[in-house]
Amino acid sequence: MNNFQRLEEEQARQYDAVKRQQVQNNLEHTFGLFKFIGQIVDVYLPAMIGVLISAAGGNSPDSRKTGINRPPSEGGDHPGRVGPHPPDGDPVRR
């Protein structure tokens, strides 16, 4: 084997390693982008759907909740008046 053949093999090995690293980096960047887009969709899509439902005149799922979880400024019960509920069958102590 002469020097030119050795050089050719060495360049082929280096090219394969460089190309493989480039492909791996591209895949990592692509997966990172998809993960970022998925997180944005996960956070903002439910809120956006609620806004669209409210704009169309419908009731959002949050509006069906009782007044216990609403702050007193919105007409909910004061937290001091509504505490944790005892298990079924236990008497209510006040």
pLDDT for the residue 15 = 81
> What's the pTM?
0.43
Residue that is written with structure tokens 């969709």 in the block = 41
Q: How many domains does the chain have?
A: 1
Does the residue 45 lie in any domain?
yes
pLDDT of residue 85 exceeding 70, the answer is no
What are the tens digits of pLDDT across the range 15-70? Answer: 888 888 898 999 999 999 999 999 999 999 988 998 898 888 877 555 555 545 66
Owning domain of residue 46:
32-60
Nearest CA among 1, 26, 22, 21 for reference residue 10: 1
Share in percent of the chain as helix, strand, coil (round to 5): 65, 0, 35
pLDDT for the residue 20 = 85
pLDDT for the residue 79 = 55
